[in-house]
Structure 1
Amino acid sequence: MPSKSVLITGCSAGGIGHALALAFQERGLTVFATARSLNKMQDLASLPNIHLLSLDVTDPVSISTAVKEVGVRTGGRLDILVNNAGQQFVMPALDVNIEKAKGLFDVNYWAALRMIQEFAQMLIAARGVVVNVGSTAGVVTVPFQSQYHASKAAIIMLSEILRLELAPLNVRVITLMVGNVASNIDVNGPPPASLPSTSMYLPIEKQIAADYTWDTMPTKKFASQVVADVMSGKSGKVWRGGNTAIIRWAVPFMPQWVFDKIMISISRGLDKMPMIA
């Protein structure tokens, strides 16, 4: 009997997708690891049962090519699709370049929907699983990350509605509510944008652009937990990563003014912003 198959987007080394590829491979699955650049995941090439595919999730032609290649190798079935590819975007909402923000949504939202549409027949044939990598960013309000958080809120809603729509087709859907995990999302995405010269936030530009360290879960541990979740038959929202317990159970019951004060004090210098008289 052929092994189950999984396709994962965004598998550049050092990230969540890369760790998931290794974790699924260790469980004996046939893994299709994808990224825009094969060089960024070349260390996977020598491992058994891993096939590297060049895939730009924003390019319909690239997706169609991947669909055909996977279909040939699996006989037209795909057991698990993991929509992991994503980008970060840090910028005050007043200064957001809307065209760049649309590009962010192309990667974080529209690409996942297109991947599900294009692989739907293979997933249905396999009674498969869709795993959409959401984020706790979709349920908390962190200053200067409005576009990234909005894209994650969108993918969470899409994923949860798809869970209902695909149930009659025997396709299970998992919405990963990812907390803080060691990842290269900032490295593999576009370079951080600088503030325009007209920005009201120039006094705190250095703080906005600074890297912040949070209580992160090791990527390998995270991937191991997620693969166990997928293989055990879970569906719906699955919370994994650092700080998820706090966000899941404490934040909803926290007074708004308390949560706002926390967000302002720990976020990229907003508490240092001079007030306009």
Structure 2
Amino acid sequence: MSEVAIRAGQKSVLITGDLAAKGIATVTLDVTSQESITQCKAAVSKLTGGRLDFLVNNAGRTHTVPATDLDLDEVRTTFETNVFGIMAMCKEFISLLINARGLIINIASISAVSPYVFGSAYCASKGAVVSYSRCLRQELRPFGVRVTVVMAGTVRSNIANTIHQLVEGSLYEPIADLYLKRQVYSQTNQTMETPVFAQQVVANAMRPEMPLLLRTWLGRRDWFWCGGMSTLVWLGTILGEWILDTFAYRRFGLEKLRIHVEKMRKLQSNEKDD
């Protein structure tokens, strides 16, 4: 197998010495730049003799802003990294993957199927990854290239380092404190440590190929639920959407906001009567 690590970040300012010290060839990459992707593909092809066993699409950015406060330019930036970057990488590296009958691992999120409050743009981007991967899996089956989607739960990372304030006049100002807590939710709730997450993803990738009906139990899973709260959300998708809706509504304090809104409406109504 090819010992190549593609260190992908939004702007690719990365430290690769840790991997290089272990004898792993490293290549920097900006998934939002076609030029960078093309250069990366050329470097990897040279290193591996035109083959690639695994392509892991992990680069991403968070976007925790209420749906009614979204800046669409920021939304486009999120999709550029989280969705279009994956599409560009798969397109660029497909010849190497076909040569190796390789595996594409797309890191999605449980937010793709759950109402992760204040994360509508992020959820939409991860939902797009899920749908794209589903079609990609079928289109690449004739060529022997497989696709696994990791439905990642809460995992220790730097993704929540930037804390946003609500825009002036936001509908959610009455629960601004809960909004701040929401922005670090993935790092404070059943968060799986990064090495554990990585080990589990690798272990699944290395499992043998099995017929579709046996794959979930005996072989490499096409849908790999991993990380904190992933089992809970998986169960929610089976038992009913109402479970996830109710959990999210209460967990993120929207009932508190509803009570506030009702009080304000009563006050306004009384003022009109007076």
Please report the TM-score for the alignment, with normalisation by the length of structure 2.
0.83
Q: Aligned equivalents of 2:132 and 2:254: distance in 1?
A: 31
Sort the Cα spacing of 1:251 and 1:126 in 2 relative to 1 into closer, same or farther, 3 A: closer
- C-alpha distance in 2 between matches for 1:72 and 1:175: 28
Gap change, CA 1:145 and 1:253, over 3 Å in 2:
same
- 1:47 counterpart (22, 38, 53): 22
Which of the pair has the greater relative contact order for Cα pairs under 8 Å at 6+ separation?
A: 1
Count of matched residue positions in the alignment of Structure 1 and Structure 2: 245
Partner of 1:244: 230
Q: Kindly indicate which of the two structures has a greater share of residues assigned to helix.
A: 2
Structure 1 range deviating more: 70-79 or 35-44: 35-44
Deviates more, 1:174-183 or 1:80-89: 174-183
Whether the aligned pair in 2 keeps the contact of 1:38 and 1:53 (CA below 8 Å) is no
> How far did 1:46 drift?
1.5
Does the Cα contact within 8 Å between 2:6 and 2:28 map onto a contact in 1? Answer: no
Unaligned runs of 5+ in 1: 6-28
SS in 1 for 2:167: coil
Q: In 2 relative to 1, CA 136–100 (structure 1 residues): closer, same or farther, beyond 3 Å? A: same
In structure 2, C-alpha distance between the alignment counterparts of 1:53 and 1:44, rounded to whole Å: 11
Unaligned runs of 5+ in 2: 209-219, 266-274
Point out the structure with max Rg over C-alpha. Answer: 2
1:228-239 superposed matches below 5 A: 228-233=203-208, 234-239=220-225
Q: Tell me the alpha carbon deviations over residues 19-44 of structure 1, each in whole angstroms, 9 at most, x when there is no partner.
A: xxxxxxxxxx4433333344444433
Query: Does residue 250 of structure 2 align to residue 265 of structure 1?
Result: yes
3-state SS of the aligned residue for 2:30? coil
Match of 1:122 among 96, 100, 104: 96
1:207 deviates by 2.1
CA deviation profile, 1:124-174 (whole Å, cap 9, x unmatched):
111111000011110101211111111111101111111111000110110
Q: Partners in 1 of 2:19 and 2:140 — Cα distance?
A: 32
Alignment partner of 1:77 out of 45, 48, 51: 51
Please give the per-residue CA displacement for 1:217-271, whole angstroms capped at 9, x wherever unaligned.
Answer: 2211111111111111325211111222221124431462x5433212211x433
Distance in 1 between residues matched to 2:180 and 2:106, nearest whole Å:
28
Q: Match for 1:173 among 133, 147, 151? A: 147
- Is 1:218 aligned with 2:168? no
Q: Residues of 1 paired with 2:163 and 2:101: CA distance?
A: 41
Give the drift of 1:56: 0.8
Indicate the residue corresponding to 2:268 in structure 1.
none
SS at 1:33's partner residue?
strand
Q: For 1:55, what is the secondary structure of its paired residue?
A: strand
Q: 1:207 to 1:41 in 2, by over 3 A?
A: farther
Question: Aligned pair 1:131/2:131, yes or no?
Answer: no
Is 1:113 aligned to residue 75 of structure 2? no
1:62 paired to 2:62: no
CA distance in 2, matches of 1:121, 1:154: 23
Q: CA deviation at 1:107?
A: 0.6
Distance 1:243 1:206 in 2: 23
**What's the RMSD between the two structures over aligned residues?**
1.8
| Counterpart-to-counterpart distance in 2, 1:141 and 1:124 | 36
Counterpart CA distance in 1 for 2:241 and 2:109 is 22
Q: Which amino acid counterpart does residue 53 of structure 2 have in structure 1? A: D
d(CA) in 1 for partners of 2:206, 2:70: 40
SS at match of 2:160: helix
The CA distance in 1 between the partners of 2:138 and 2:26, in whole Å, is 32
Say if 2:171 is the partner of 1:200.
yes
Question: 2: distance between equivalents of 1:178 and 1:225?
Answer: 11
* Alpha-carbon separation, structure 1, partners of 2:93 and 2:70: 33
Q: What letter matches 1:202 in structure 2?
A: E
Q: Helix, strand or coil for the counterpart of 2:59?
A: coil
The answer (yes or no) to whether the contact 1:87–1:186 under 8 Å persists in 2 is: no
**Contact 2:236 2:244 survives alignment (8 Å):** no
